């Protein structure tokens, strides 16, 4: 249940004025916003439909020719993505490293940022979390031992192009290589954003659908990419309808970052299309609480009102969300927006990702700081997607402390030991008996 007073969006009092930026930094923010302070401190589920003040101000300054209708049109946002150094430098003050990294880039995972998402990026501070996730840095060109272009061996589990079949009863169905925003830590950085890979095409989809239809053990299909919600409603209707017509497919999911980076895409027409194919679930990729704008709240609200269960998937990223306070703010914000935190991923060892990866202890420390200290619904499952294609392996803070005869000794969230009568059991016997 939502309460208006607790969750109502309050406009950021320092983001609205059009203060003149320093001349060398085109999009400087008003100086009053302290580094690290939340963009939308009290945002909740009672979203307003108009653009947030920071984004309005950004639009007036950098896209003055865009009408409100254009700005709110997802196709306009997609076709006006910022994709090169000149366009980005017109809006943010690029560091030397960022500029060099963009200019050195070729191949997949290009720069691509929707105007809407760029409005949330700090134009001056290269260390701002959202900026780190979408603006390349030279660290991307560093390859260290253990990294790989396809660390999860997805390409080795493809019975037909577009299908990754690793678990017995479910498949990944990769339908496009196009994303509205390119995340610099993307697990599929080897294949997204290439001109040839943006559209997988009907022949590839048809072969993949035939594989699913011919494989009766598949009961769950996760449509991913790239970002499937960059496809038109008509194409989504074709894909979802084709899957729904296969009797053994019980559950259809889409994995997407669109609600966070292109919330304009979540139109009433799209939600009508999606809700026709229940049971249909959406896994949304959220990274940081500053993504939870009024526009995102409205998008999530529309999806939730259509009866679509929403789960979030978050990648643990150094310098972005690797502290308890940020992660708690994100998880609480997601719940206020009717999104259940589902997975927290340890960052995959993708080539050039070492600047994003944290020690595994950091993830466990964050989970330990959430578990027992806040609502259970706010605690995601922390997993490592095992390199080599071993699948997701959950990691939990150690709660089994030992065994004393018939008693299992358990450690709670405060570190205190409790006994649970467990006659006949042996769990914990191999551990040192707790005092």
Active site residues: 166-167, 170, 179, 183, 186, 188, 348, 385, 392
Query: 176 or 293: whose CB is closer to ligand SF4?
Result: 176
Q: Which residues, at least 6 apart from 33, have a Cβ–Cβ distance to it below 8 Å?
A: 12, 14, 15, 39
Task: Work out which of 122, 227, 295, 322 binds ligand SF4, going by CB under 6 A.
Answer: 227
Give the integer Cα–Cα distance in Å for 16 and 26.
Answer: 16
Looking at 214-285, list the stretches that DSSP marks H as alpha helix, in order from N- to C-terminal side: 233-244, 258-261, 268-275
- Among 302, 313, 258, smallest CA distance to 114 is for 258
Query: 225 or 333: whose CB is closer to ligand SF4?
Result: 225
Taking only Cα atoms into account, the Rg of the chain, rounded to an integer number of angstroms, comes to 23
Task: Work out which of 54, 190, 257, 288 binds ligand SF4, going by CB under 6 A.
Answer: 257
Q: Are strands 340-346 and 310-316 parallel, antiparallel or unpaired?
A: parallel
Query: 326 or 353: whose CB is closer to ligand SF4?
Result: 353
4, 44, 259, 286 from 10: Cα distances, Å: 11, 9, 21, 21
Site for ligand SF4 in 156-215 (CB under 6 A): 179, 182-183, 186, 188, 192
Q: How far is the CB of 183 from ligand SF4 (least distance, A)?
A: 3
Site for ligand SF4 in 277-316 (CB under 6 A): 285
Query: 187 or 273: whose CB is closer to ligand SF4?
Result: 187
Residue reference for tokens 């939730």: 304
226 binds ligand SF4 (CB under 6 A): yes
The Cβ of residue 275 has, within 10 Å, a number of other Cβ atoms equal to: 14
The Cβ of residue 323 has, within 10 Å, a number of other Cβ atoms equal to: 15
Q: How far is the CB of 46 from ligand SF4 (least distance, A)?
A: 27
Give the integer Cα–Cα distance in Å for 33 and 339.
Answer: 28
Q: How far is the CB of 176 from ligand SF4 (least distance, A)?
A: 9
253 binds ligand SF4 (CB under 6 A): no
Q: How big is the site for ligand SF4, counted in residues (CB under 6 A)? A: 11
Site string for ligand SF4, 99-138 (x = CB under 6 A): ----------------------------------------
Q: Which residues bind ligand SF4 (CB under 6 A)?
A: 179, 182-183, 186, 188, 192, 225-227, 257, 285
């Amino acid at each position: 249940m939502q309460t208006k007073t607790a969750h109502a969006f309050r406009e950021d009092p320092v983001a609205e004025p059009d203060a003149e930026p320093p001349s060398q930094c085109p999009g400087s923010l008003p100086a009053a916003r302290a580094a690290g302070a939340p963009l939308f401190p009290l945002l909740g589920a009672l979203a307003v439909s108009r653009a947030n003040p920071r984004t309005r101000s950004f639009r007036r300054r950098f896209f003055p020719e865009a009408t409100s209708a254009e700005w709110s049109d997802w196709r306009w946002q997609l076709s006006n993505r910022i994709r090169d150094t000149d366009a980005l430098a017109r809006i943010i003050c690029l560091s030397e490293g960022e500029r060099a990294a963009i200019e050195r880039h070729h191949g997949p995972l290009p720069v691509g940022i929707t105007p809407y998402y760029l409005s949330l990026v700090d134009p001056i501070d290269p260390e701002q979390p959202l900026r780190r996730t979408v603006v390349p840095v030279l660290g991307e060109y560093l390859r260290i031992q253990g990294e790989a272009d396809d660390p999860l061996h997805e390409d080795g589990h493809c019975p037909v192009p577009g299908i990754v079949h690793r678990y017995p009863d479910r498949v990944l169905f990769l339908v496009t290589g196009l994303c509205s925003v390119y995340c610099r830590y993307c697990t599929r950085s080897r294949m997204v954003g290439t001109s040839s890979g943006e559209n997988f095409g009907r022949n590839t989809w048809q072969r993949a659908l035939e594989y699913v239809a011919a494989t009766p053990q598949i009961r769950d299909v996760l449509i991913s990419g790239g970002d499937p919600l960059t496809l038109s409603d008509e194409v989504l209707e074709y894909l979802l309808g084709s899957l729904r017509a296969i009797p053994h497919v019980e559950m259809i999911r889409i994995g997407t970052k669109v609600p966070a980076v292109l919330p304009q895409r979540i139109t009433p027409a799209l939600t009508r299309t999606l809700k026709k194919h229940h049971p249909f679930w959406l896994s949304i990729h959220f990274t940081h609480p500053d993504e939870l704008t009024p526009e995102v709240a409205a998008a999530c609200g529309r999806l939730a009102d259509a009866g679509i269960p929403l789960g979030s998937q978050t990648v643990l990223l150094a310098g972005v969300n690797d502290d308890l306070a940020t992660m708690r703010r994100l998880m609480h914000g997601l719940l206020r927006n009717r999104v259940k935190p589902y997975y927290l991923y340890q960052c995959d060892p993708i080539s050039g990702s070492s600047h994003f990866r944290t020690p595994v202890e950091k993830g466990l420390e964050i989970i330990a700081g959430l578990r027992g200290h806040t609502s259970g619904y706010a605690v995601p499952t922390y997993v490592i997607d095992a390199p080599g294609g071993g699948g997701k392996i959950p990691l939990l803070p150690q709660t089994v402390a030992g065994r004393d005869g018939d008693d299992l000794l358990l450690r709670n969230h405060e570190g205190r030991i409790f006994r649970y009568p467990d006659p006949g059991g042996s769990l914990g016997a191999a551990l040192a008996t707790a005092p």
